[in-house]
Chains A and B, each alone.
Chain A
């Protein structure tokens, strides 16, 4: 059974890689293309990835986010799904090109490290765990997607300012569109992240008897949350947009990555994954 799971996950990685290859060909080839292969490959990859995830959930009898391997894989899956969801609303052909490297990194990382099923301590067995993780991860997935859009914004903005009107300038979408999409991701991601933190706190009061214990993960979540709260406030009330908002989104991305991975790998605490 584990073999099937690894096979599916590997298949997803292969499809994401094809997505990245076709995405970069699309970006740099001057010919217009009718079919967006990049998006199709990511779509197929996400489907296979979802199958792998379901398989794993059946295997571990709960939402498969109990260790680093599962978390990385699940996060990549959510990122792909968030991309496809956003892609239904606004069509940005090159977004897939920029998102695919992240999908590949996370999935590959998940594949490289140990797949061993970690037995859960009974204290963590609760329906709050899947809820808390799902909300936080989904929130982060949207925020990371917003960050990718911000990177694209900065590239396109640089090209327009420096008057380099050729090559990928033609393939990248309008600045306004990128800025709007980044804002949309923020508005989707931030409430989810907030709910994720709240649900975690509620669960903590059941499990450990305290809402908040200043464990490193909690502290860093708060820092991330405050950063995005500031950004959202700035966008809503102070007319932050464009470059400024993009830079902040990218700083936010760094905070997310540190909260998600750095804390677990470098600092120890209640949230650390059992290796």
Chain B
């Protein structure tokens, strides 16, 4: 019995290949059933995101399993297997466990430490377990993976710092204002970058958004989207004193905001700080304003530096996370080994004998007048029943060990709840 992962990701395959092999959430349930029956796997799960397509499975024969999985992908998507065979990776046993844990902990992500993958993995697992495509091993494997992902997040600083320009801006704003709840944001220019950053700020619960743009209709459109207010471009200077955060990304060739504009604004707002983010190239805001007290200006290069710095830190932390993952891989392997047949037989016997002994004690406690001989006879009877009862299940287990097929062990363990204490 082996745990296997076959798939491709952003490192091994171009997007053109990834999108041809991807599965939508809607088709997944049906695909899982087909895969489980068609490819002869004991358990399956499919993780399909924009950066990766991965098939998780439990099988008994590695070579045929690999072949059948590739064949399945080719058949289902109507692509020749040769077209993507080079992009694939195939992991089994400890390598597969490690890969699964790394994916969950976002160590294998395009941007290391970004947490979306965990949610996607949870969704993929929910769909698979809904269809009962997963079983004892994958269930435990994924629960472990979720747990490890949480450990990595809490014990390392891997996800602590912003790694996108727009999020870096939010992080900085928090270091200036603390709480962003009552803040007002002005967007100058209605470009995509601005919109993205504004969305981040709105997620932080800012109070209001003002939007200004050379074409007022575009400003209005964006303002409606954020339930904000659109300002005609000609008058936005007179509103500078009302906002705490200014995001600028126009295509203007010259500076739009000068020191004297902000000196005026500061006076009106009694020196409450203003944070300006200039994502335009060429820049919209005269860099001299950063010299003013209570004014903080970051341009796109400054933010990029922050991001680079943060990414470096993430990679440092990723090393620590890898160690944590390796430790967990060992633990999981141990558990897998315990699934092998012999321990199952032993444990099953112990379990049944334990129950019979307990019941015997209870019964004996109710008799006061039994002599030793009678007690021994009762004991012998209980043991005989237990052993006769165990005879067939144990034979069943033993007869199926030759081809390293451990499915029977799994079944027996589930029927008798032998894993109840260590989930």
Contact = CB atoms under 8 A, between A and B. Distances in A.
Given A176-B273, A241-B272, A165 B309 contact: yes
Contact of A161 (B157, B178, B270, B296): B296
B160 A32 contact: yes
Contacts of A89: none
A162 B413 CA distance: 63
Interface string B283-307: 0000000100110101000100110
A147 B170 CA distance: 29
Given A163-B298, A239-B270, A241-B271, A174 B176 contact: yes
A166 B273 contact: no
Nearest to A169: B175
A160 interface: yes
A242 B178 contact: no
Contacts of B177: 174-176
Provide the main secondary structure of the chain B interface.
Answer: mixed
Nearest to B309: A166
B62 interface: no
A177 interface: yes
B271 A163 contact: no
B174 interface: yes
Interface string A224-250: 000000000000001111111000000
B193 interface: no
B293 A244 contact: yes
A174 B175 contact: yes
A240 B175 contact: no
Given A161-B296, A239-B270, A174 B309 contact: no
A177 B178 contact: yes
B74 interface: no
Contact of B273 (A163, A165, A175): A175
A31 interface: yes
B313 interface: yes
A131 to B, nearest CB: 37
Nearest to A245: B271
A30 interface: yes
Contact of A160 (B160, B179, B272, B296): B296
Contacts of A31: 157
B172 A242 contact: no
- Chain A contact residues (Cβ within 8 angstroms of B): what range? 20 to 34
A87 interface: no
Given A30-B157, A32-B160, A161-B296, A239 B271 contact: yes
Contacts, number: 59
Nearest to B299: A163
A58 to B, nearest CB: 45
B155 to A, nearest CB: 9
A232 B215 CA distance: 46
A244 B273 CA distance: 13
A242 B294 CA distance: 7
Contacts of B160: 32, 170
Nearest to A174: B178
A243 B294 CA distance: 8
B176 A175 contact: yes
A43 interface: no
Contacts of B174: 174
Contacts of B296: 160-161
Interface in B294-347: 294, 296, 298, 302, 305-306, 309, 313
A11 to B, nearest CB: 34
Given A241-B271, A244-B293, A160 B178 contact: no
A92 to B, nearest CB: 10
Contacts of A173: 178
B271 A240 contact: yes
Given A161-B290, A243-B294, 9 more contacts: A32-B157, A163-B298, A165-B309, A176-B176, A176-B273, A177-B178, A239-B272, A241-B272, A242-B293
Interface of B: 157, 160-161, 172, 174-179, 270-273, 290, 293-294, 296, 298, 302, 305-306, 309, 313
7 contacts: A30-B313, A160-B176, A163-B302, A166-B313, A174-B175, A240-B271, A241-B271
